[in-house]
């Protein structure tokens, strides 16, 4: 019989979120509204960006980043990511070019980016894996040398930093509030930028191409006028979801601190293991620990997953297969050998980590791993 059940993740929802959502339900203002503005202000101030725009998902944010930047050529992107990153590139009319990752950090390799740059390259989509920022100083240097835009898929990196800088402030950042992330709104995303024109375009495109929101028009002489200046989508976040986000933002640092302590316990318990390689954090980088991943020999990886599952541990894999091995993406351009990506995909395991866990849960999981035959 299983000693306990530990899911892969669990959102940290308290009475504050429930009360705020209840207030919105009672108010009747369910669609995009004042809580969106409050959430955006809190978020942009937290990461140090000039603008933050709420929307219904990080995928939508990635899509609109490409459209607002006017990118139609090649976008360099790691294959070791969720398919949403590449879906956004294709749906926005650009061409993804896959490059390899660094085995230690699981992040896109600046060296492989350099090799893949051609006259058709217009942007680099950086995916900050599991909460660890990629090597942004080197990537920014490459982008500036070759006059490329940077789109940061920061879905997993809310609260991460590189040399004190948050992801999402250099050019365009895209964040996720899915229930597995460091904070959640249920479903939702955020786009951040310091560029006034990009922010203005994104706000319009995500709301049917209309330049003013219902909330902002309330004070206008003719609030019923809706002027569309461009073709757009309905990618907006609701007032209800934003209200949950406001309360989550107030807890973000505390929730991330708990994740950090859990990760430290994992690393301490797994240090010196003969067959488990814990993640590494380069000096000067702060990991947000959205996921805690380890590398296992590919020959035993799946059996260890079954062993963990049979003992009540909700371990998983992120990501296998990588995007370039998905049937629909196999013919897309590869800018480098993807050997490291393929090896990591066959070796990686995501272990449970969320603020509601305690140290005994980590010890139990490590005991199960160490009991593996």
pLDDT above 70: percentage of residues in the chain: 95
Calpha distance 88→62 (Å, rounded): 6
* Positive or negative: CA dihedral 243, 156, 91, 172: positive
pLDDT of 212 > 90? The answer is: no
Residue 273 is predicted with a pLDDT of: 86
Whether the per-residue pLDDT at 242 is higher than 60: the answer is yes
Binned at pLDDT 50, 70 and 90, residue 223 comes out as low
User: Region 89-107: what's the mean pLDDT?
Assistant: 97
> CA torsion, points 23, 27, 28, 31, in degrees to nearest 10?
-70
**What mean pLDDT is reported for the chain?**
95
Q: Tell me the pLDDT band of 3, cut-offs 50, 70 and 90.
A: confident
What does the pLDDT read at residue 230? 84
What number of helices (H) and strands (E) belong to the chain?
12, 13
Give the architecture (CATH level 2) of 252-370: Alpha-Beta Complex (3.90)
Kindly report the pTM of this predicted structure.
Answer: 0.95
At 282 the three-state DSSP class reads: coil
CA–CA separation, 136 and 158 (whole Å): 15
pLDDT of residue 32: 93
Q: Is 181 a catalytic residue?
A: yes
pLDDT at residue 210 in the model: 83
- Distance CA(304)–CA(163), nearest Å, equals 36
* Residue of 35, 44, 181, 258 marked active site: 181
- Read off the pLDDT band of 1 (50, 70, 90): very low
CATH 3.40.640.10 residue ranges in the chain? 15-250
pLDDT digits (tens, 9 = 90+) for 48-80: 999 999 999 999 999 999 999 999 999 999 999
Which stretches does DSSP call E strand in the chain?
51-55, 74-78, 95-99, 121-127, 149-153, 161-162, 172-176, 189-193, 276-277, 285-286, 292-296, 333-334, 348-351
C-alpha distances out from residue 65 to 17, 27, 68, 91, 108, Å: 29, 33, 5, 12, 19
Residue range(s) occupied by CATH 3.90.1150.10 in the chain: 252-370
Percent above pLDDT 90 for the chain: 91
Q: Reply yes or no on domain 15-250 having CATH 3.40.50.2300.
A: no
């Amino acid at each position: 019989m299983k000693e306990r059940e530990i899911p892969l993740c669990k959102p940290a929802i308290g009475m504050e979120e429930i009360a705020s959502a209840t207030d919105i339900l009672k108010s009747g203002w369910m669609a995009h509204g004042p809580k969106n503005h409050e959430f955006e202000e809190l978020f942009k101030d937290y990461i140090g960006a000039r603008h933050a725009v709420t929307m219904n998902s990080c995928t939508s944010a990635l899509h609109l980043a490409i459209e607002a930047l006017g990118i139609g050529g090649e976008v360099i992107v790691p294959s070791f990511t969720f398919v949403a990153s590449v879906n956004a590139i294709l749906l926005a009319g650009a061409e993804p070019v896959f490059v390899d990752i660094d085995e230690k950090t699981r992040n896109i390799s600046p060296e492989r980016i350099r090799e893949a740059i051609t006259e058709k390259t217009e942007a680099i989509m950086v995916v900050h894996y599991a909460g660890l920022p990629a090597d942004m100083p080197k990537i920014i240097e490459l982008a500036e040398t070759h006059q490329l835009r940077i789109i940061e898929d920061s879905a997993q990196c809310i609260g991460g930093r590189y040399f004190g800088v948050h992801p999402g402030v250099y050019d365009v950042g895209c964040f996720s509030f899915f229930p597995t992330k460091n904070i959640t709104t249920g479903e939702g995303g955020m786009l951040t930028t310091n560029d006034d024109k990009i922010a203005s375009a994104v706000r319009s495109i995500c709301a049917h191409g209309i330049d003013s929101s219902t909330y902002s028009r309330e004070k206008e002489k003719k609030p019923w006028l809706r002027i569309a200046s461009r073709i757009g989508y309905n990618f907006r976040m609701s007032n209800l979801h934003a209200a949950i986000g406001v309360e989550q933002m107030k807890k973000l640092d505390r929730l991330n601190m708990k994740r950090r302590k859990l990760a430290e316990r994992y690393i301490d318990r797994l240090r010196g293991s003969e067959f488990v390689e814990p993640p590494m954090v380069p000096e000067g980088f702060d990991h947000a620990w959205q996921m805690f991943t380890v590398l296992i020999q590919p020959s035993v990886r799946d059996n260890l997953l079954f062993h963990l599952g049979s003992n009540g541990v909700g371990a998983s894999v992120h990501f296998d297969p990588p995007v370039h091995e998905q049937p629909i993406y196999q013919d897309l351009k590869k800018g480098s050998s993807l050997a490291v990506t393929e090896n990591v995909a066959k070796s990686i395991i995501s272990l449970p980590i969320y603020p509601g866990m305690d140290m005994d849960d980590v010890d139990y999981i490590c005991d199960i791993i160490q009991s593996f035959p």
